Structure 1
Amino acid sequence: MLLRLAYLRVTNAFAVLRWHRDLVRRRHAAQSKPKRPGRPRTLHDLRRLNVRLAQRTR
C-alpha cells in the first residue's frame, strides 16, 4: 500500500493544476473552432424565396 501511494505522489499540486488548465484550454479551443470553413449555408426555404423574388423582379 505504501508503494502505491508513493507511486501516485510523483508530481505536485501545481503540475496537476497546470495540466488541468491546459486540458480545459485545449477543449475550449476545439469546441469554439468553426465546423467548416467559409460562409454558412443558407436554408433551403430562404434559397427558394430568393429565387422567387428574383424571378418576380425581372
Structure 2
Amino acid sequence: MGISGDFGGGGPPEERDHDYHEDIPSFPPDLSFLFLPHIIIPLILLGILVCSVLRLLVGI
C-alpha cells in the first residue's frame, strides 16, 4: 500500500511539471517584454539627462 501510495503521490508532481512546463515557455517572452521597456526607457531618459547636463556644462 505504501508503494501504491507513493505512486499516487506522483500524480500532483505530474500536474506541477505540467504547469511548470507551461510556465517555462511563457516566462521568456514575458520577461523579455518586461525587461526591454525597463532597460530601453531608462537608457533613453538617462541619455536625455546626460545630454542636457552636458549642454549646461558646456554652455551650448
TM-score normalised to structure 1 length: 0.45
Larger radius of gyration between Structure 1 and Structure 2:
1
TM-score, normalising length from structure 2? Answer: 0.44
Q: Which has the higher helix share?
A: 2
